[in-house]
Amino acid sequence: MKHLVNKEIIEKVPFMGDEVEVRKMSVSKVMELQSIVASAGKDEEGQLNLLRSVIRLAVIGSEEITDEEFNNFPLGELSALSEAIMTVSGLGASEGN
């Protein structure tokens, strides 16, 4: 099993009529995300920062996208992507369960 430490599992998920590659979050990434959630706040800006953080942690290539560029995506599409990331990482509800 030791040979699998740090191995990334990547799945393609739909986003805006295309696909993006999503990393399954490791335990350490989930812990990092929990810390971000705790400090996010309930206001709109805090929730947008949380959404961007989730995407940056998991979507390959998204760490290069600025906050201004994120603001050009439809909010519903970003929310759906965030939900898909959580499902891929085993944190969200999956269909049929």
- The vertex-15 CA angle with 40 and 69, nearest 5°, equals 55
Per residue in 52-84, pLDDT (tens digit) is 999 999 999 999 999 999 999 999 999 999 999
Q: Which candidate, 35, 69, 32, 30, places its Cα nearest to that of 52? A: 69
81, burial (CB in 10 Å: exposed 0-12, middle 13-18, buried 19+): buried
What lies within 8 Å, CB to CB, of 16 at 6+ separation is 73, 74, 77
Per residue in 14-38, pLDDT (tens digit) is 999 999 999 998 888 888 888 888 8
Distance CA 79, CA 43 (A): 16
The pTM of this model reads 0.82
